[in-house]
Amino acid sequence: MNYIAEWLDSYRRFWELRMERLEEYLRKLQDKDRETSSGKPPGTRKVENDDGKH
């Protein structure tokens, strides 16, 4: 029975890591989509000046 628990635990860790990678990928896609829909060229972001104004 312990063998089965260890086997299941290894798959749980495997899928948790996969889901984390998927989450990261989806965040990048959303960021890219926001940049594209804002009319700005990809890779450009609003940067604050030293005085905190945009």
E runs forming strands in the chain: none
**Global model pTM greater than 0.85:** no
Structure tokens, 11: 């798959």
Distance CA 3, CA 27 (A): 37
Please determine, for residue 6, whether its predicted confidence score (pLDDT) is greater than 70: yes
Whether 54 and 48 have beta carbons less than 8 Å apart is answered as: yes
Q: Is 5 exposed, middle or buried (0-12, 13-18, 19+ CB in 10 A)?
A: exposed
State pLDDT tens for residues 29-53. 999 998 888 776 556 555 555 565 5
